[in-house]
Amino acid sequence: MPIKLIVFDMAGTTVKDENSVTQTFSDALSQFGYRVPESVINPLMGYKKIVAIKRMLHAFEADQSKVTPELIAKIHDAFVERMISFYTHTSSLEALPHAESTMKTLKASGIKIGINTGFSRDIAEVILSRLQWREKSVFDYLICSDEVSEGRPNAGMINRLKQMAGLAETDEVAKVGDTEVDVREGQNANCKYVIAVTTGAFTREELEPYKPTHIINDLSELLEIIL
């Protein structure tokens, strides 16, 4: 069966990320006295950000009684505020090479294009507005981690996108992302293709153990796989 829907991640997959998300996350944690190495933060960047914060606090807070929902919410709010400010003002925000043209080509062939992200909706909307992706008709649907009960690697965001696209349960879907949790999300959603891209947080060697169906270095390679 042909692919009916392709689900793309944002930062590191379709949107250029020169470590800005990791740095912003680090800054938000530092504001509350937590010095977490970037090597620890990077692998968690595909996760729902509330979940990533909770995991890091449990790893770096000796007094676990301090890891409260209130503290997690405060750090998350600080991250969101910093991330929105960054994406609103940065001059370096841009789509990754061939991201827009690839999505448009796939869309023109009749495939629905979905975007999902570990960001909350308010951050994602700033990115879409700055890149003018709605005006350019780059994608069809967007779902964010704060709009589902569980984020990646749970299949909830992909399942929601299938519903938005009016697809049947058996219709074929492809997932494209740059992290381990993107790969596992696609696998949990039983995607026909789970395609990892090396433009983000993980190298080819770091992605291989998670067994995506494909690993690519440029989004233009999707055209040969899908079409």
Give the model's pLDDT for residue 199: 96
3-state secondary structure of 134: coil
Ranges of each domain in the chain = 3-17+93-226, 20-89
Q: What is the pLDDT of residue 106?
A: 98
pLDDT given for residue 171 in this prediction:
93
| The pLDDT value given to residue 43 | 83
In 72-94, which positions are buried (b, 16+ CB within 10 angstroms) versus exposed (e)? beebbebbbebbbebbeeeeebe
Tell me how far CA of residue 174 lies from CA of 67, 130, 164, in angstroms. 37, 26, 15
* pTM, 2 dp: 0.93
Cα(212)–Cα(75) distance, integer angstroms: 32
First to last CA, the chain: 12
Task: State which fold the 3-17+93-226 domain adopts.
Answer: Rossmann fold (3.40.50)
What is the per-residue pLDDT for 44?
Answer: 86
Amino acid making up residue 106? L
- What was the pLDDT predicted at 195? 98
Per-residue confidence of the chain (227 residues) as pLDDT tens digits?
899 999 999 999 999 988 889 999 999 999 999 999 988 998 888 888 999 999 999 999 999 999 999 999 999 999 999 999 999 999 999 999 999 999 999 999 999 999 999 999 999 999 999 999 999 999 999 999 999 999 999 999 999 999 999 999 889 999 999 999 999 999 999 999 999 999 998 999 999 999 999 999 999 999 999 99
- What is the per-residue pLDDT for 170? 86
pLDDT of residue 141: 98
